[in-house]
Structure 1
Amino acid sequence: MVRCLALFISLAAATSLYATHYDGNIYTLSFDSGNSLSITSSLKTCGDAPSWLTFDSSTRTLYCSDHSGNGTINGSLSSYFVNQEGKLTELAKTVDVGSAVHSTIYGGKHGREKYLAIAHYGGSALSTFTLPLSSDKEALQDAPHPHQVILDPTGDFLLIPDLGADQVRVYAIDQHSGHLNVCPSLNYTPGSGPRHGLFWKSNLSDSAQAPVTMLYTLSELGGHLSAFVVSYLSSGCLGFGETQSFVPYPGGQLPAGATPAELAIAGNYLYASIRFDQGFPPNDSIATLARSSNGTVTFSQITSSYGTIPRTFAANKKGTLVAIGDQGSSNVAIVRRDSESGNLGKLVANLQVGQPGQASNSSTGLSSIIWEE
């Protein structure tokens, strides 16, 4: 009886994470209260190259996008029910544009339908699907050139960083139909290559100042983090006023060959992954950026990614842990995070997931990591 009770307590204290790997698997990971990280299952699914996961906690549905295909050869989109033990059961699989790299859920206001928007980098497309997904469902809409899909704080706009065109494309969402209406794009200096971005909205409790909505973007080619004040225009579109642009790295300059990749937020801090810098040899880096109440960002800290080519990372809901998915070394590293200072601390768990990737091949190695929360 005591042993059974201890097992129950251990299972209850464990948290699940999910990782995709370009070997064709979705991996279920378990992180327990003893800081032990392990693979509990793997599922060969989601096409030849699973690349990105989006979890809908309200329905316990996991959506997986396939990186295989190139715009002329199709990839796939799959959905799974996730039980309380982290087991995946496939619900639907449908054909989608190839080379998917990111997705997000939008819609659902006032009981209306939800939709999934998917960015296809190699396929130069944005596809959207009505949810729940069914195996015979076709894309609702296509639009060109995304690398990520960003939902604004109101839920009324989708932004698409277009690395190749040096733009962030802006779409207004028709909440009745899910259709995306084109708005004027946010344009960058040629050669910038905006890759990832996120919104932040202040509130009255932050300061005595009026609330402000900010957009932060990270440019892969130019190496800059840019900050914009966002305005909601009477035309039904968005306006952007740039307030900052700087290289988020010690000394304000990246080492030769280094590039920023993903951008994330937790509390009052932004985090940018830095690939190919070997700032902590042989490992790459994560940059921490402090955000003030008026939206201004300053460089704060550089720490190890505990692997090579950090492609994706995510903080848990409490903001006390960050899971880093390193594509090149194909490992998941979990580090402490101080929720007050925002600083990333010591490594508490590290796990090899699948075979290491190749620096010369962006379609190998670990491709995404998320918490189930």
Structure 2
Amino acid sequence: MSLRSLLLSLSASVASATNLYATHYSGTVYSLSLTHSSNGSSLAISSEIQGCGPMPSWLTLDPVSRIIYCNDETGDASTNGSLNALSASADGTLKLIASTDAAPGGGVNSVIYTGEHGAQFLAVAHYGGSALSTYALPLTTNAQPLQVFRFTFSDVNPNRRPQQDAPHPHQVFLDPTGSFILVPDLGSDLLRVYGIDKATGKLKTDCTDLTYPTGSGPRHGLFWETADDHHSILTTNLPSQQRTQTRRSRERRSQNQVQQQGAATLYTANELDGHLKVFDVSYVADGCLSFRQRQSLVPYPTTNDSLPTGATLAEIRRAGSEGLYVSVRSDHGFKPFDSLATLTRHENATVEFDRLSSAYGTVPRTFVINKAGDLVAIGDQASSNVVIVARDPVTGVLGEKVADLQVGEPGEVGTAQGLSSVIWDE
């Protein structure tokens, strides 16, 4: 072989690697390495750590500090779980740097939010603990929560589903302005709404929650911001004619709702009734949010307005500029595998079902799109595998499987076993 041919051969075989992180309900947090070369792509476990309690359930990465906050789902309303901070090196190696056992039990999801002067805070949804908690960041060992909201039922409703034995917050997410925390409560059929006090990082409880029909079970949600209203929302949350009055005297603000129609759209996936709901969201003069339902549909090719028996919706993600994805667990749409549903979004913010794609595993609890938009990592809980799927960044169409890796032992469907989350290191 000539020197030139040898150099070309070596160059073609040089691989590029990307890190991912995954949690398993057995207690392990994994670092994964996705390697691309001219010979194809491969996914491998590069390291692992027992650093997030007995039941790691969710990872939230701060890409600036390279700290990953890991929720532990251990415990219920009567016991505590833990919240943990892991440092991530450039090669993906993880190290436990802080942990607190003062967190309520059942932590399943978290989000970082900001206050004044760059201060950071973390909000955590506790499914088994029927609670919402907040923490000042960076997390320190034995840190106490900044706040804990514990939820109970205020009524007796015989029409609740068996999974609604108690309030069960399942996610926390921000509105487009970073001024509100929203919490889908699967057990209470509520979307809980909290304003953020930027000076203290504490959450305010003076906003009205969004109520769903009994048995809906809202699990996950996201906002889709209307670009034309982005500047005005970030500036004041109020129309221009109200800004001067607001600065002069808060208490003299009009109590009439001053709405920015179409300021944002909210999409939520309901686990129990299988519906995706679409809401127009307005920022109103009382400093809260107003919701108007625009659409409700089952995001599936169905003729009876329901998912296949035993199937449930899990996570919802935005798909570029024109669509959404929703993971569908236990539908066996690609036997024996489950599905991801792709939805097309119209100009009026409504959506329609487009197609199903294989999850290449069973019970797709979580999935994440990389920043380039050309790959999707799917975390299949019961089969306990992480699958990398190609994605067309322009059309949003999901393509073939790029890589697949067994991560820990498979779990039984319907239990807190198997793979629990996966994220990109981006």
TM-score interval for Structure 1 and Structure 2 normalised by the shorter chain: over 0.9
Please state if 1:98 is matched with 2:92: no
CA distance in 1, matches of 2:217, 2:277: 12
- 1:136 to partner: Cα distance: 2.5
Cα 1:30–1:7 change in 2 (3 A) is farther
Count of residues paired in the alignment: 366
Match 2:418 to one of 355, 365, 373: 365
Could you list the runs of 5+ residues in structure 1 that have no partner in the other structure? none
Please state if 1:223 is matched with 2:274: yes
- 1:203 to partner: Cα distance: 1.2
- 1:265 to partner: Cα distance: 1.1
Large movers: runs of 4+ above 4 Å: 5-9
CA distance in 1, matches of 2:285, 2:228: 24
Higher share in strand: 1
The one-letter code of the counterpart of 2:68 is L
1:92-128, Cα deviation, whole Å (9 max, x unpaired): 111111111100001145x231100000001000010
CA distance in 1, matches of 2:299, 2:191: 20
When structure 1 is superposed on structure 2, of 310-319 and 34-43 the one drifting more is: 34-43
The one-letter code of the counterpart of 2:208 is P
Aligned to 2:253: none
1:63-101, Cα deviation, whole Å (9 max, x unpaired): 101011112221111111111101112211111111111
Aligned to 1:240: 291
Aligned to 2:114: 107
Aligned to 2:410: 356
CA distance in 2, matches of 1:113, 1:22: 32
- 1:303 to partner: Cα distance: 0.9
Q: Please provide the CA RMSD for this pair.
A: 2.1
Please state if 1:199 is matched with 2:240: no
Aligned to 1:214: 265
Aligned to 2:318: 265
Cα 1:250–1:59 change in 2 (3 A) is same
Aligned to 1:156: 179
The one-letter code of the counterpart of 1:364 is Q
The one-letter code of the counterpart of 1:176 is A
CA distance in 2, matches of 1:279, 1:269: 20
CA distance in 2, matches of 1:127, 1:203: 31
- 1:204 to partner: Cα distance: 3.7
Question: Contact conserved, 1:203 with 1:211, CA < 8 A, in 2?
Answer: no
CA distance in 2, matches of 1:67, 1:305: 24
CA distance in 2, matches of 1:347, 1:124: 37
Cα 1:205–1:142 change in 2 (3 A) is closer
The one-letter code of the counterpart of 2:30 is Y
CA distance in 2, matches of 1:181, 1:108: 13
Could you list the runs of 5+ residues in structure 2 that have no partner in the other structure? 1-6, 152-166, 231-260
- 1:259 to partner: Cα distance: 0.8
CA distance in 1, matches of 2:118, 2:126: 26
The one-letter code of the counterpart of 2:140 is S
- 1:292 to partner: Cα distance: 2.4
- 1:54 to partner: Cα distance: 0.2
CA distance in 1, matches of 2:408, 2:19: 17
Secondary structure of residue in 1 paired with 2:44: strand
CA distance in 1, matches of 2:278, 2:90: 40
Query: Could you tell me the TM-score, scaled by structure 2's length?
Result: 0.83
Question: Contact conserved, 1:114 with 1:130, CA < 8 A, in 2?
Answer: yes
Match 2:387 to one of 330, 333, 339: 333
Cα 1:248–1:28 change in 2 (3 A) is same
Question: Contact conserved, 2:262 with 2:282, CA < 8 A, in 1?
Answer: no
CA distance in 1, matches of 2:19, 2:389: 16
CA distance in 1, matches of 2:211, 2:79: 30
Cα 1:367–1:7 change in 2 (3 A) is farther
Cα 1:201–1:258 change in 2 (3 A) is same
Match 2:76 to one of 67, 70, 73: 70
1:303-314 to 2 correspondences below 5 Å:
303-314=357-368
Match 1:47 to one of 47, 53, 56: 53
Match 1:285 to one of 339, 347, 351: 339
When structure 1 is superposed on structure 2, of 249-258 and 153-162 the one drifting more is: 249-258
CA distance in 2, matches of 1:199, 1:341: 20
Match 2:22 to one of 16, 19, 24: 19
CA distance in 1, matches of 2:354, 2:228: 25
Query: Could you tell me the TM-score, scaled by structure 1's length?
Result: 0.94
Match 2:148 to one of 122, 132, 142: 142
Match 2:203 to one of 147, 168, 180: 180
Secondary structure of residue in 2 paired with 1:14: strand
- 1:8 to partner: Cα distance: 11
CA distance in 2, matches of 1:61, 1:36: 26
When structure 1 is superposed on structure 2, of 235-244 and 334-343 the one drifting more is: 334-343
Cα 1:20–1:275 change in 2 (3 A) is same
CA distance in 2, matches of 1:7, 1:51: 38
- 1:345 to partner: Cα distance: 0.9
- 1:211 to partner: Cα distance: 6.0
